[in-house]
Structure 1
């Protein structure tokens, strides 16, 4: 097994690892140079993601009939600091209950979460730079046609239900709260109010559900959206991953990339996407939006809420 003299940048996700393997097979000039045996080993690992994610290096070596050192050398050739960092991509993609801990393990193993005063400054800079990259990727990757169709769905829907739980709860609440300034019949689906998945049974054709879910997706959110679609409602999905469960339920998807050296899901791009959506809805509604906002402001003033 051999690699070029340069040190390749390690893939940041399982999908990127798959893409890198394709580049290696094609012999792309920017791809690491692997021996035929190493390429075969990489293909074998990609074909058994659960075993790779759940086995230790010795057991995996026995299963593949290779020395564990071969797995370590392959990891280094692909730009990883070691096999643990390589394996963490497989564990993360399983999106189980250990999603965040394996993400943290990978980041620490990459040296992206250093300790100490100087290192902390470097880490802060890395977080800022990646969040800026996420914002740029969100805007540049946004399909204006898809965004406008999403706006029309919101404006024309009979009822709008917004659901997002756990880490996505804040963005879902923000979206539902300000949509309620702009139009009638907006409901934020929240377990805090005792609202369960059965509420989706009241939805029908002409209604819209906006599902907000970043990986790992909350089962209750996915179940709610699935049941709503079965009842005839339309689903608009806001997510950070094109392979999310929500995207399999609808053709209406808006993506907010969320990558970077952070133990949990970066959320800046999601809130930008929500703001873009709200801005477009208000613009599309025109004077009706202004009238609705003024009515809400008058009510707030009358009740002396603030």
Structure 2
């Protein structure tokens, strides 16, 4: 069942204009009322307008009011705990394990709920056809770029992952048709990633972004925007604990999506890689 409507609203709430925010806030407080109301009725209860309801649907990336209702209904049926729990002073190791596990699962579930499958399919198709994939991120996002690079290399797909923006710019300046730039920035506002995607756009190179949900400088620049949940992380988790898992989750989906396009060949590449690594382990 489709879900993620409430998560979409939470993620984008602060970016909405006042008229749409009124509607979003009302739905978040009264999700059950959405299921049995028309767009006009919801707008009246939220002290907004029917046009604002329609614009809100467009802002969060759903096809219309009916899809929003279906997704919110899915959220209510799921009946799983919402919210992220922070580590407290003097937290026991058992508590840390439980909270970290719960938060990570929550992040993956929230991200799965907001996936746009049309964009995901376009991304997999572009990556599968790419001659070289240039993965770029700064700080924690560079770790995600490196993970993507090593996965693509294992299936005989050319891939780079450098932190030096000047070097990446040189690669893009000489990129060929069919190359793809994968820009990773949780905030969507990392200056270096913005500049690299802008350069790729100028050069006519296809771009894919991976950011938190909602409009951002990075996602707006990309030909194919992909998102992870932008659920509010607690203070001690500002180093992107759960968001990192969500980003790795999307990279795994892209990798497996590529693998299924040429399954037998991919299996052979992975077997070759495994044998080569084993050879190194056995060498004296």
TM-score (norm 2): 0.64
User: Does the CA contact (< 8 Å) of 2:188 and 2:218 recur in 1?
Assistant: no
Q: Secondary structure at the match of 2:131?
A: coil
Distance 2:154 2:95 in 1: 41
> 1:190 aligned to 142, 155, 163, which one?
163
Structure 1 144/304 Cα, relative in aligned 2: closer, same or farther at 3 Å? same
**Equivalences, count:** 215
Question: Structure 1 length normalisation: TM-score?
Answer: 0.59
The alpha-carbon distance between structure 1 residues 113 and 251, as it changes in their structure 2 partners (threshold 3 A), is same
Determine if contact 1:158/1:206 at 8 Å carries over to the other structure.
yes
Given that 1:203 and 1:232 are in contact with CA atoms closer than 8 Å, whether structure 2 keeps it comes out as: no
Greater shift in the superposed pair: 205-214 or 173-182: 205-214
Show the counterpart of 1:242.
Answer: 214
Is 1:300 aligned to 2:277, yes or no? yes
The worse-fitting range, judged by mean Cα deviation, of 128-137 and 272-281 is 128-137
Larger Rg: 1
Q: CA deviation at 1:243?
A: 2.0
Provide the rounded CA distance (Å) in 1 between the counterparts of 2:212 and 2:160: 23
**Greater relative contact order: 1 or 2 (C-alpha under 8 angstroms, separation 6 or more)?**
2
Aligned to 2:54: none
Match of 2:266 in 1: 289
Q: Are the counterparts in 1 of residues 104 and 245 from structure 2 also a CA contact under 8 Å?
A: yes
Change (3 A) 1:180 1:131: same
CA RMSD of superposed structures (Å): 3.4
Could you say which residue in structure 2 is the equivalent of 1:160?
Answer: 133
> Helix, strand or coil for the counterpart of 1:115?
coil
1:59-83: CA deviation from partner (whole Å, max 9, x where unpaired): xxxxxxxxxxxxxxxxxxxxxxxxx
Q: Does the aligned pair in 1 maintain the 2:141–2:185 contact within 8 Å?
A: yes
The change in CA–CA distance for 1:233 and 1:17 in structure 2 (over 3 A counts) is closer
* 1:116-164 deviation line (CA, Å, top 9, x unaligned): 347x876765554333222111112112222121111011112211111
> In the alignment, is the contact (CA less than 8 A) between 1:160 and 1:210 conserved in 2?
yes
User: 2:41 maps to which residue?
Assistant: none
Q: State the SS of the aligned residue for 1:138.
A: helix
Per the alignment, residue 143 of structure 1 pairs with 116
Which stretches in structure 1 are left out of the alignment for 5+ residues?
1-10, 32-110
